[in-house]
Homo-oligomer: A and B are copies of this chain.
Amino acid sequence: MSDPAIRNRSRATADMVARTANVSRVAVSRAFNPHASIKPEKRDLILKVAQELNYTPDMAARSMVTGRSHLVGIIVPDVSGPWESQELDAMTTALQAEGFATLLFRTRDDLSMDETLLTYMKGFNPDSVIAYAENVRPTTLARVLDRAVPIYVGYPDEDAAEAEAAPLFDRLDVLQREGIEQAVALMQGYGARRFAFLAGKTNSLATQSRERMVIKVLAERGLPPPTRIPGDYTYDTAYRETLNHFRLGEPVDAIFAANDVGAFGAIDALRTELGLRVPQDVKVVGFDDIHQSHWKSYNLTTVKLDLTERTQALLRLILRRLKNPTSPSLTETVSTRLVVRGTVG
């Protein structure tokens, strides 16, 4: 019953290569490990035979003994969002260049699944995990993942005294003050006085932090606090709520959106349905600087989160932790800056 054809369907192993090349199985292992000492001619022979047999070392077996899976887990709430997918793209590219494969997980909007998901992910033994403050409770993160030290992307209140002096894991903190100050200054310079803040998902730490910082900066510049337009980061909600606000709520002459996609929704509502001009009647600023923001229909002035900078910082954290697993937690910070286009002045 051991049909050789079926048997042939399975992968080649190091043993088969060894037997074919008339060497020991250990030699095969060494041939594939650059740092192992093996006679060069022997290595060449083995690699040649391996190629003929279409042999590739089994990462699962390898990871069991080395303790390295070469997997990095990434947890994202919505892969299809422009910002999320652009970050995922940058991160996957960077990881791949370092020899890691991306293990992708998608959360639901609520946090109800986070424990199940993390537990499941843990089974794959990722060398590192990138999680975002919005999607996973930090306590769950710390409890479930004991082996891989996760990286937590957060948006701290830069001015507030950080209570958590000793973070549980490596972090990337995004400092949003600078970009927000530049944006408010620009809008004020062009005459904006009554601001609205178009929110993101209410349970999102990023949007909460952005709103607090906008309020603070407005106060510092002697401007009244912003009115609040509800939102959830989506175009449709932003469109609808902007419409609603301009028809029923207090008039405003500037909108600070929690993300670019929301800003697009607001702009389209203003122009298409309300007959208002951007930037002449209402000034709009977004957050993220996704690719779409420079599209001519929007040409959005926005607070940029530099993707390259973020990605490099995350990669540094991962590699450092892998090189020295017991080193104390480190927090990297990245800043933000305004990208000026056509929706303010």
* Bound CA span A28–B190, Å: 68
A251-281 interface with B by 8 A CB criterion? 264-265, 267-269, 271-273
Interface size on A, residues (CB 8 A): 65
Instruction: Report chain B residues within 8 Å CB of A96.
Output: 105-106
State the oligomeric state as a number of copies.
2
Name, among A6, A147, A296, the residue most crowded by chain B CB atoms within 10 Å (CB to CB): A296
A24: interface (CB < 8 Å): no
- A10's nearest neighbour on chain B, judged by CB, is B147
A333: interface (CB < 8 Å): no
Residues B101 and A124 in contact, CB atoms below 8 Å apart: yes
Give, as a whole number of angstroms, the nearest-CB distance from A97 to chain B. 10
Contact segment of A15-23, A60-68, A197-205:
A60-68
Q: Which one of B60, B93, B272 contacts A106 once the chains associate, using CB atoms below 8 Å?
A: B93
Residues A146 and B79 in contact, CB atoms below 8 Å apart: no
A11: interface (CB < 8 Å): yes
A40-72 interface with B by 8 A CB criterion? 54, 56-61, 63-64, 67, 69, 71
* Bound CA span A81–B295, Å: 14
Contact segment of A84-92, A129-137, A171-179, A206-214:
A84-92
* Bound CA span A315–B124, Å: 22
* Bound CA span A45–B125, Å: 25
Instruction: Report chain B residues within 8 Å CB of A268.
Output: 295-297
A194: interface (CB < 8 Å): no
A9: interface (CB < 8 Å): yes
> Which 4 residue pairs of A and B lie closest in terms of their CB atoms, listed nearest first?
A85-B85, A79-B89, A80-B89, A268-B296
Residues of A within 8 A of B (CB): 6, 9-11, 54, 56-61, 63-64, 67, 69, 71, 78-82, 84-86, 88-90, 92-93, 96, 101-106, 119-125, 143-144, 146-147, 235, 239, 264-265, 267-269, 271-273, 291-292, 295-298, 325-326
